[in-house]
Amino acid sequence: MILADEFFQPARQMGFNFISGVPCSFLTPLINFVLSEKDLKYVGATNEGEAIAISAGAWLAGRKPIVMCQNSGLGNTVNPLTSLNYPFKIPCLLIVTWRGQPGIKDEPQHNLMGEITPNILDLMNIEHRIFPKYSSDISKTLKEADEYMERNSLPFALIMEKNSVQDDGLFQKPTNFSERTYEQNILEGESFLSRETALRAVLELISQSTVLVATTGKTGRELFTIDDRPQNFYMVGSMGCASAIGLGVAINTPKKVLVIDGDGAALMKMGNMATVGNYRPKNYIHILLDNGVHDSTGGQNTVSKNIDFSNIALACGYSSASFCNTVENLKLAIEKTDYSDGPHMIHVKILPGSLEKLGRPTVSPCDVAKRLKNFITE
């Protein structure tokens, strides 16, 4: 059994200083230690997939991230690990607890996952080792993981057995939240606008230094077609993760970060908005293009007609929220974000459909990630 400090001392020296995740009792000593250290940043996520996306954003902003979670949450990580980290070549160090480890008594809900945890990692082509339980093994294990990630630009996992880290009595310090003031601007108009018109309005008003994260599907494809920029991140999978990636970037850079989301994607991971509202990055703008359908898969209806995204964002802690369905009101809502701290939500009603002869990004996901990271960190 090791101490949390014994693990994070060499981890710090290797540059690991950003941690996201979802708690597990096995992880308590590590999480409590991170929360008590000023030079280590911990972002608690609403689910494990969100933690992966947040860490991807942090990596794009120049951090070396760690994601900590229980193995029961591995299922939530499969989509972003396989369709975000793998194609974009984004590494992170995974610390996955081994609940239900064969031969060790545990609660019944952990038994099956305990049997298949290493196999799941193998199926995702994720190299893994047992989390070090002895001080003499820590540096060697971390060095192996770090060198693998540096060489392959892929995640590496450490599987943590029970009683690996001693609980040395560290507890989370109380958080002082600043008073939150909400402003809601309901900007009404007579007609909806197209996605192309909305994207062109956004590009017209944002500065060249703004990082732009576009959700998967036709949004990223239209953005690439209209104006490919090195500061653009086009998601090609991991549906619902755009807002979490943007959060990971925003809390690690002073640059303005603008997320272009969709109604179907936002509905898939609505917990992301709660995390954004909790950490309240001042440089974060969340534009949600709502056409009421899954455009990329044939136009099937979403349930967005029943959803008030603006009030949900306010309830989650966003500083302001706007609703608009004309290009004039969209431009006004974007301009207003220059005069107050975020996070800001702009809910935009748009028409279904997309550009004719819509192509796909010709820049590989790996190169999209590399050039964005260079843009943010240089």
pLDDT at residue 5, as a whole number? 94
H-type helices in 132-194, by residue range? 135-152
Tokens coding 292: 């009421």
pLDDT at residue 177, as a whole number? 52
Burial of 11 (0-12, 13-18, 19+ CB in 10 A): buried
**Sheet with 127-130, side-by-side order of all strands:** 41-44, 16-21, 64-70, 93-97, 156-160, 127-130
Q: What is the DSSP letter of 169?
A: S
Q: pLDDT tens string for the chain (378 positions)?
A: 999 999 999 999 999 999 999 989 899 899 989 988 989 999 999 999 999 999 999 999 999 999 999 999 999 999 999 999 999 999 999 999 999 999 999 999 999 999 999 999 999 999 999 999 999 999 999 999 999 999 999 999 999 999 999 986 655 555 555 545 455 555 555 568 999 999 999 999 999 999 999 999 999 999 999 999 999 999 988 999 999 999 999 999 999 999 999 999 999 999 999 999 999 999 999 999 999 999 888 888 899 988 999 999 999 999 999 999 899 999 999 999 999 999 999 999 999 999 888 888 999 999 999 999 999 998
pLDDT at residue 190, as a whole number? 52
Q: Which helix (H) or strand (E) holds 51?
A: helix 48-60
State the residue for tokens 């619902």. 240
Select from 116, 68, 123 the least CA-distant residue to 96: 68
Give residue-wise pLDDT tens across range 13-38.
999 999 999 989 899 899 989 988 98
Q: Which helix (H) or strand (E) holds 222?
A: helix 218-226
Residues 6 or more apart whose Cβ sits within 8 Å of residue 76: 47, 48, 49
- Cβ atoms of residues 328 and 205 within 8 Å: no
How far from the centroid of its chain's Cα atoms is residue 274's Cα?
Answer: 12
pLDDT at residue 184, as a whole number? 53
d(CA 245, CA 232): 12
The b/e string for 89-99 (b: 16+ C-beta within 10 A; e otherwise) is: bbbbbbbbbbb
At 223, which amino acid appears?
L
Select from 238, 233, 245 the least CA-distant residue to 265: 238
pLDDT at residue 237, as a whole number? 87
Residue 80: cis peptide before it, omega within 30 degrees of 0: no
Q: Which helix (H) or strand (E) holds 314?
A: helix 309-316
pLDDT at residue 39, as a whole number? 92
DSSP per-residue letters across 337-371:
GGGS-S-EEEEEEB-S---TT-----S-HHHHHHH
| Percent of the chain's residues with pLDDT above 90 | 84
d(CA 308, CA 318): 14
- Cβ atoms of residues 56 and 120 within 8 Å: no
Taking the CA atoms of residue 110, residue 116, residue 122 and residue 125 in that order, the dihedral angle to the nearest 10 degrees is -50
pLDDT at residue 173, as a whole number? 55
Tokens coding 39: 């030079």
Q: How close are the terminal C-alpha atoms of the chain, in Å?
A: 41
Q: What share of the chain is helix, strand, coil (3-state, %, to 5)?
A: 45, 20, 35
Number of alpha helices (DSSP H) and beta strands (DSSP E) in the chain: 15, 15
d(CA 90, CA 282): 25
Interaxial angle between packed helices 28-36 and 4-13, expressed in degrees from 0 to 180 and rounded to the nearest 10: 60
Q: Which 3 state secondary structure label does DSSP give 171?
A: coil
Give residue-wise pLDDT tens across range 179-223.
454 555 555 555 689 999 999 999 999 999 999 999 999 999 999
pLDDT at residue 298, as a whole number? 82
Q: What is the DSSP letter of 301?
A: E
At 138, which amino acid appears?
I
Q: Give, in order, the Cα–Cα distances in Å from 73 to each of 86, 105, 159.
A: 18, 19, 13
pLDDT at residue 186, as a whole number? 55
Q: How many residues does the chain have?
A: 378
